[in-house]
Amino acid sequence: MGTILYELHQHVATLTIQSPPANALSSNLLKALSERLDEIQREEKVKAIVLKGEGRFFSAGADIKEFTSLQEASDYQSLSEFGQQIFDRIENLSIPVIAAIHGAALGGGLELAMACHIRIATESAKLGLPELTLGIIPGFAGTQRLPQLVGTPKAYEMILTGEPISAKEAYQLGLVNQITSEEEVFDVAFSIASKIAAKSKPTINRIMQLVPYAKNDNFAIGVKAEAKAFGEIFSSEDAKEGVQAFIEKRKPNFIDR
């Protein structure tokens, strides 16, 4: 069945997919992921999350064996909507999630990675949506997030052929932020999370609210929201501390207020 290991390192939470051998995303594993997100959101000190897979893969996709236990079209639709709901929740978190991808992120595994905000991949990683090779289609919003990240023509190619791409091509397309070695992928992801966690949480939360306006082509609304947030954030204790620290040429001591 698998589980999601949750560990807290000061202000950074790490979530590890533990579902050998391929870290398949069963409905039970998705439920466990949702429960871990509940825990993290109750923990006010968390400012960033690193998501990784245990063993050979980040995640090789949904649990195909589970599909055989479903009967009606409505059952498959419910499974799709359940996964979409959890991945939407990740994308809409007020703190960033960094995916540390090794081995493979395929099918549901790539859909999960695409719901994260930053993606770090190993040089040997493979990324793709191979569902059409099984006679099915992506069900966890892959047809929607992939075009946003790589453009519509490339998304058509990747989905319709089902062929995975290399980490190098994924980087060139903007699907991943950085490429690193197998040994360093978690450390790189954790380093990014730690740099983020050194910031004031209210400012992190505001950025997580504002950037999606650009993704949804709501520029005019986004800039107005930015101006409003800019004014509001300056009333915070952290803003006053940050400005004063800059003037005094010292490191700020943020208290997340």
196-217: pLDDT as tens digits: 999 999 999 999 999 999 987 7
Q: Rg of the chain's alpha carbons, rounded to an integer? A: 19
pLDDT score at 46 = 97
Percent pLDDT > 90 in the chain is 86
Active-site pick, 7, 54, 91, 131: 131
Sorting pLDDT into bands at 50, 70 and 90, what band is 1?
low
Q: State pTM to two decimals.
A: 0.94
Active-site pick, 43, 91, 111, 241: 111
Q: Is 131 a catalytic residue?
A: yes
**Would you give the DSSP letter of residue 186?**
H
30-60: pLDDT as tens digits: 999 999 999 999 999 999 999 999 999 999 9
**Would you give the DSSP letter of residue 46?**
-
Q: Is 111 a catalytic residue?
A: yes
> If you count DSSP H runs as helices and E runs as strands, how many of each does the chain have, helices first?
11, 9
**Would you give the DSSP letter of residue 17?**
E
48-99: pLDDT as tens digits: 999 999 999 999 998 888 878 877 888 889 889 999 999 999 999 999 999 9
